[in-house]
Amino acid sequence: MTVMPAPDEAANTRTAATRGGGTAAPAESSAPIMRRVKSKLTSRWATAAALVIAVVWTIPTFGLLVSSFRPAAKQVGPRSDGWWNFFGDWQFTFKNYADVTAAGGSQSANLTQYFANSLAIVIPVTVFVLVLASMAAYIFAWGKFRGREAAFIFVFALQIIPLQMTLIPLLQLFTQVLQIPPGSYTQLWIAHTIFGLPLGIFLLHNFISEIPGEVIEAAKMDGAGHTTIFWRVILPLSVPALASLAIFQFLWVWNDLLVALVFSGGTADVAPITQRLAEISGTRGARDYLNPAAAFVSIIVPLAVFFSLQRYFVRGLLAGGLKG
């Protein structure tokens, strides 16, 4: 999608200049001026409305960020007040962050462990999905077999199945048939990989099928087999699409709660940070003042990924990277 140059301003000045040439009747020349004044006015209102939306959308997160640096007594208890008072009294502390990440008894949030769990879940899943989806997408795009189209449409259609429909049987399958021990990463790795595949195959297929056939023919002429073509030609050319998919996959899995609740067993050995966060924020109590800091520890990674790789993320969205 190409970004159109802003034509408004240029056109405006041009018409003004030609009309301003002198001989036009007053009635004729006043109309565009009126229009310009009007559109300036509306654009001022539009800018104001946009700023209001931007502020309203940012304040909740900003409030949480400020709260996470306020001492406990300011957040809960009789001397507590709203986070906006921070700008009057400037009481600032890192203690909340130290507390939530410190290893301690079962009472402590112990977020370092859960943070490591999230990474240990996300990284392999992202690799698995990228490799398996690109292998399948390559065959769907360039392989030769009967029913290729139909099979691809079937995979695409699998996106319809809501996660919720698979949870009960999948859990039974894992624990009873495959005997995968509960409370290990394995269940989470496999489950997330399965759920990521349909969209991954679809996204990568769109990209890989657009690679010019001559490139692949040329490689074949040089004596390259399917495996060489796949690893040496297709994958390097698909880096932009792979980057988009990797970001999606990373964000979904990092932010997931439902799959974690069903398959993780909930212990500090395996459960991801979202699950711990849901736990500690779900119980009201004297340690409520840790919630903002805990939430920020979990938000920081996706935000960093998001802001540094926003371009690929948006490109993926526009390519139809939509999943619920």
Partner 1 sequence: MEFIGGKFLQVVIALAVFAAIIGLIMLLVDRAPKSAKDKITVAGFLAPAAILLLVGLVYPAAQTSFLAFTDASGKLNGVDNFVWMFTQPEALVTLRNTIIWTVLVPLLSTVFGLAYAVFIDKAKGERILKALVFMPMAISFVGAGIIWKLVYDYRGPEIEQTGVLNALRVAFGMEPKQFLLDAPENTIFLIIVMVWIQTGFAMVILSAAIKGVPAELVEASRLDGANPWQQFRNVTIPGIRGSLVVVLTTITIATLKVFDIVRTMTAGNYETSVVANEMYTQAFRAGEPGRGAALALILFLLVLPIVVYNARVLRQQKEIR
What are the backbone dihedrals phi and psi of residue 107, each rounded to the nearest 5 degrees, phi first?
-75, -30
177 CB neighbour count, 10 Å cutoff = 9
* b/e map 61-89, b = 16+ CB within 10 Å: eeebebbbbbebebbeeeebeebeebeee
Within 109-138, which residues bind partner 1 (CB under 8 A)? Answer: 112-113, 116-117, 120, 123-124, 127-128, 131-133, 135-136, 138
Which of 187, 198, 235, 245 binds partner 1 (CB under 8 A)? It is 198
Within 64-103, which residues bind partner 1 (CB under 8 A)? Answer: 64, 67, 75, 78, 80-84
Within 256-285, which residues bind partner 1 (CB under 8 A)? Answer: 256-258, 261-262, 268-269, 274, 277-278, 281-282
Tell me: does residue 206 bind partner 1 (CB under 8 A). Answer: no
Of 204 and 214, the one with the shorter C-beta distance to partner 1 is: 204
At 161, is the secondary structure helix, strand, or coil?
coil
**Unique residue bearing structure tokens 């909740």:** 60
Fill in the per-residue mask, 156 to 175: x = in contact with partner 1 (CB under 8 A), - = not in contact: x-xxxxxxxxxxxxx--x--
Distance CA 209, CA 140 (A): 8
> CA 85, 86, 88, 93: dihedral to nearest 10 degrees?
150
The answer to whether 68 and 97 are in contact (CB under 8 A) is yes
User: In a 10 Å sphere around its CB, with 0-12 CB exposed, 13-18 middle and 19+ buried, how is residue 193 labelled?
Assistant: buried
Tell me: does residue 314 bind partner 1 (CB under 8 A). Answer: yes
Tell me: does residue 25 bind partner 1 (CB under 8 A). Answer: no
| Shortest spacing between CB 218 and partner 1, in angstroms | 19
Number of residues that bind partner 1 (CB under 8 A): 118
Tell me: does residue 308 bind partner 1 (CB under 8 A). Answer: no
| Shortest spacing between CB 239 and partner 1, in angstroms | 19
Pick the stretch among 43-51, 91-99, 211-219, 237-245 that binds partner 1 (CB under 8 A).
43-51
